[in-house]
Chain A
Amino acid sequence: MANLWTGYIWPTAITVAEIIAIIVPVLVGVAYLTYAERKVIGAMQLRKGPNTVGPFGLFQPLADGAKLFFKETIFPTNANRGVFLVAPALTFFLAMVAWAVVPFDEGWVLANINVGVLYLFAISSLGVYGIIMAGWASNSKYGFLGALRSAAQMVSYEVSIGFVMIAVLLCVGSLNLTDIVHAQAKGVWFIIPHLPLFIIFFISGLAETNRSPFDLPEGESELVAGYMVEYSSMIFAMFFLGEYANMILMSATITTLFLGGWLSPLPFAPFTWVPGIIWFVLKVCVILFGFLWVRATMPRYRYDQLMRLGWKVFLPFSLVWLVLTAGVLEFGGLLPK
């Protein structure tokens, strides 16, 4: 009996607690990211943004959530019900599952697996399914067009994201995310030697999360709202949550790969007193601000320009940079291990 307790139930309970400890902050983060987005864009457009519900409009996300929760779920005629329902659940689920390997601080990681980077990459490449299934199951032209656009876009930009990741991995010699941060602790943050890659990764991240200026899949002026056009109430909310969680995840990935994860920017006294998790969150917030800033500033890309950028600019560049990195590491005697 004791064996059962120590062998199975107790570890399971701990894992569940850890999962909750990750998911709840992420969800709160998502809620306040929507708030921050409206406030930041408001400020950039010389408006106030939400300011009525609660002090400074702080309860606005809760009010939005409650509104969506009480709305009616509408199924379009001839929609493929099963797939229609699975799609948002999948998007939400994938956006949560990916957090399992993200190291928030030294040792603060749910699953410290050896192939962490690949895991993140795999999960993010699955994200396209939620969208394409939603678009197809809605039985709507707008939805389907949006889904096709989005799928092509995400598959294209994944390629350059993959090459960027490989270039970083070459400098680390491991696919473990914690090891990546450790490697940056020993040397410099990878943003310094790999600044162009950081820029490519950031832009590809925008495309991968379907954010402006690459938000063609939902381009409301032409596709109404793309693949989400037929969704309402909680199933819509799941898409929404999943999308914003993906944004935070992308920022966390950038932070881990390029900005030294939980490391303090300057490795001496007053800075190292601050716990790593704070640095991590701060860095994620900076990247997220970049996401919002771009949205407020940039006009939307045309689709052919988007594809051109992905295949004809980023892909060759990241490939050349990868070869360059390998060459410098090999001939400069800098290979890890």
Chain B
Amino acid sequence: MIQALVFYVFAAITVASGVMVISARNPVHAVLFLILAFFNSAGLFLLAGAEFLAMVLVVVYVGAVAVLFLFVVMMLDINFVKLREGFLQYLPIGALIGLILLVELALVYGSWSFAPEAPLSVATRVPDLAVVTNTDALGRLLFTDYFYLFQVAGLVLLVAMIGTILLTLRSRPGVKKQNIARQNARTKETSVELRKVPTRGGI
């Protein structure tokens, strides 16, 4: 009973904050609601017994991705009122597309059926969670059956990184950079010169 209650609390907050993300007037508030939504989704994962995923969701999405979102939204001076000017104009067509998708979804849901093999092929992947921990089971699956996908996902991230650097890194001329190795390698002999200055003579 308590579990159901907690589920509904988490689910309700997730949905409500999702609505707030798109309806909040202040973009910073929107991002904060997004974070709340992530957080409650992590709670839902916990309820489903996926503790590792829950924690990773918080670490990655809340702890890193959303921080950068917040950064960008706070620093860019975007006039969101202006951005939304055309909103009403496109609302009817957007609503129409949404409605069509909803009807389709309802149709799909109404006539949903599972392939006879489906339960079996899903079940074979899940080990007994009473014996192995969640993290262990995920790791085993990820590094054996899904090894190939794991590697390709790594490559996708590598390309994303190359792309970001390529498109944004500019080498500006005339920037003075600190060269720590050279600084540390300096000795008294190479940097200081002691001279006897004759009186009234100067150097």
Contact = CB atoms under 8 A, between A and B. Distances in A.
A168 to B, nearest CB: 15
Contacts of B26: 80
Chain B interface mostly: helix
A132 B55 contact: no
Contacts of A286: none
A132 B134 CA distance: 33
The number of chain A residues touching the other chain, given as a range, is 20 to 34
A133 B58 contact: no
B74 interface: yes
A185 B180 CA distance: 41
B13 interface: no
Interface in A98-152: 113-115, 118-119, 121-122, 125-126, 128-129, 132-133, 136, 144, 148, 151-152
Interface string B17-35: 0000000001011001001
B154 interface: no
A132 B66 CA distance: 12
B35 A129 contact: yes
A155 interface: yes
B83 to A, nearest CB: 20
A279 B58 CA distance: 32
A6 interface: no
B187 interface: no
A133 B29 CA distance: 10
A113 B46 CA distance: 11
A133 B32 contact: yes
Interface in A62-102: 80, 83
Across the A-B interface, give the 8 residue pairs with the lowest CB-CB distance, nearest first. Answer: A125-B63, A118-B55, A122-B58, A122-B59, A114-B133, A115-B51, A115-B55, A122-B55
Interface of A: 8, 80, 83, 113-115, 118-119, 121-122, 125-126, 128-129, 132-133, 136, 144, 148, 151-152, 155, 158, 162, 174-175, 304-305, 308
23 contacts: A8-B2, A83-B29, A115-B52, A115-B55, A115-B135, A118-B55, A118-B56, A122-B62, A125-B58, A125-B59, A125-B62, A125-B64, A126-B63, A128-B67, A129-B67, A132-B67, A132-B70, A136-B28, A148-B71, A158-B63, A174-B133, A304-B178, A308-B178
